[in-house]
Amino acid sequence: MKKKEIPGVKEIARRANVAIATVDRVIHNRTGVSAKTREKINQIIAELNYQPNLLARRLASNKILSIAVLIPSVTEETDFWEAPLQGVRQAEAEIRQYGINVDLYFFNLSDPRTFVEQANRIVDASVDGLVLAPSFVDEAREFTDACQKANIPFVFIDSTIPNQRSLSYIGPPLFQSGYLAGKLCTYRLQEHSKLLVVNIATSLDSFTYQQIEEGFRAYFTDHKLTYPILKANIQQTDYPSIALHLQDLFTAHEAIDAVFVSNSRVFSVARFLESADLLKRPLLIGYDFVNENIRFLASGIIDFLICHQPKEQGYRSIMALYQHLILSASVAKEHYMPIDIVTQENQAFYRN
């Protein structure tokens, strides 16, 4: 009996001027096809948007693939990670039919030991792929080194660590994001103004804060603007500690006319500015469309929020592993998210 041809394969073979068996070898990533012919066939597959019957193939294999997601837990201090989690769950619902399980692991942003505990659980679980928020650099580097030795592909989400051979980084272009914040600050600056950069996090040694601040300062260097730039690193993230630190700064320095907060905790600075007895409220810029930030944006205390579509980050991180594990397709080494500017005027229409 003549073997039934897979719909679409015959047309690919006709366009490539090769045998159907050759197309089949390329689709199933088998040997015996020259690099030139393979490239030609893959180009035609992309042009036709051809998808083989992945569901039937996966079900026939009876193998369940496991993807682990290691991200910070949502807390009372900040609900930023709720949006990426929604994206992860959306992607999981779409690919579950292909025999893929997505297992969630959460760590406390205030305690690196919780990161290590969850990382060890993932190693013991022998997963097939990993989505990782590398909030604690040293611990994350040790973890990803172990993943590389075990041939576990991993995707960085929202922040990255250089030279770690990740499958992909999905998140903001950090330097450019900070650069934009610098430009936004100039709307309020006068001749004798000072600027304040505020970093609020338990761990401040990440590549993220370094790149954002470098971008911020580069804007002023590139435009030959010589405003003094003050800096506050606040590692105790409870509000009383933040308020005390800010009070000392504003008492010691007059003419702080713009404040840039390098993460989603800008609402803590907004809370301070709302209650502080200052002659003039400075312009305030920070990150992320989280509930507390939205409240202060609506009231005018926060002037600009820079956002990077965190729900889409979560979705794309899972789909990158799906492309790699199921489709055997190439994945972009970096997938930078758009840089959105949200203000009091447009916040009612913005969606993460």
Predicted local confidence at residue 55, as pLDDT: 57
Mean pLDDT on 271-288: 93
The pLDDT tens digits of the residues spanning 290-313 come to: 999 999 999 999 999 999 999 999
* Number of compact structural domains in the chain: 3
Query: Do 199 and 291 have their domain in common?
Result: yes
Question: The CATH number of the domain where 166 resides is what?
Answer: 3.40.50.2300
| Eight-state DSSP code of residue 115 | H
Q: Which residue range(s) make up the domain with 86?
A: 60-171+310-337
Instruction: Examine residue 78 and state whether it is found in any structural domain, yes or no.
Output: yes
CA dist 348 and 330 (Å) reads 38
Does residue 345 form part of some domain?
A: no
Q: Are residues 180 and 163 in the same domain?
A: no
- Banded pLDDT at 132 (limits 50, 70, 90): very high
**48-85 pLDDT, tens digit each:** 777 666 655 655 566 789 999 999 998 877 789 999 99
Residue 169 has pLDDT above 90, yes or no: yes
Helix residue ranges, H only, 126-253: 137-149, 174-185, 207-222, 239-252
Residues 165 and 178 in one domain: no
Q: How far apart are CA 195 and CA 198, in angstroms?
A: 10
Between 9-16 and 35-48, two packed helices, what is the crossing angle to 10 degrees?
Answer: 130
